[in-house]
Amino acid sequence: MMVFFSHGPSDPPPPLLPLPRGMTLRRWQAGKHGLPPRGSRTPVNFIWWLLNRLGFFATDEFTELTVWRGDDMVHRLLVTPRWHRLPFMAPDDLEVGNIWTRPDARGQQLAPTIIGEAHRLFGDRERRWWWLTDDDNAASMASAARCNYRRLGTGYKTRPLGVGLWGQYRFKPIAE
């Protein structure tokens, strides 16, 4: 089961935290920067670039934010606009996801730091942000709370014909 968190225009902004000493942030935005840069040239990122190029996303804001310690990537986060896999989102909403932190870099608040940076980068208009995580991912849920995201409900991911790429995330709001 998935847990759905949201951050709306009236919610307190996520904290703006500095990167730990010796770390740098890199930003790749498929619609502005073209093909993935060195360090982000993975088969998956080429697929993301192609999906962006083919107009699968509601806006041209698909972005990968990565944190580096020298030549080593230690954290990755994607900012994804609405597309067929996220049908519950409004056209201008964004989702933060595919958050990964290398084990030796955990505990340094990288997720909240980069979430705050994502909000700063895309904070030019009122919009809703989404954060989806597995219900057994305590670290992700704690990071969502630290970033002032509110739990809105639960859901699941469909896999038509066993193909995850064509699946959708189905959202069920918390009953009030």
d(CA 77, CA 38): 17
Rg of the chain in Å (alpha carbons): 16
d(CA 134, CA 149): 15
Please, which pLDDT band fits residue 126 given cuts at 50, 70 and 90? confident
d(CA 57, CA 107): 33
Strands in the chain per DSSP E = 2-7, 23-29, 63-69, 72-81, 94-101, 129-134, 150-157, 169-173
CATH number of the domain where residue 166 is located: 3.40.630.30
- Report pTM: 0.93
In the chain, how many domains are there? 1
Q: Domain limits at 168? A: 2-173
Report the mean per-residue pLDDT for the chain. Answer: 94
Do the beta carbons of residue 144 and residue 131 sit within 8 Å?
A: yes
Please, which pLDDT band fits residue 164 given cuts at 50, 70 and 90? low
- Total residues found in the chain within this entry: 176
Q: What is the pLDDT of residues 20-64, one digit of tens each?
A: 999 999 999 998 999 999 889 999 999 999 999 999 999 999 999
Query: Once rounded to an integer, what is the mean pLDDT over residues 145-173?
Result: 89
Do the beta carbons of residue 110 and residue 75 sit within 8 Å?
A: yes
d(CA 129, CA 70): 31
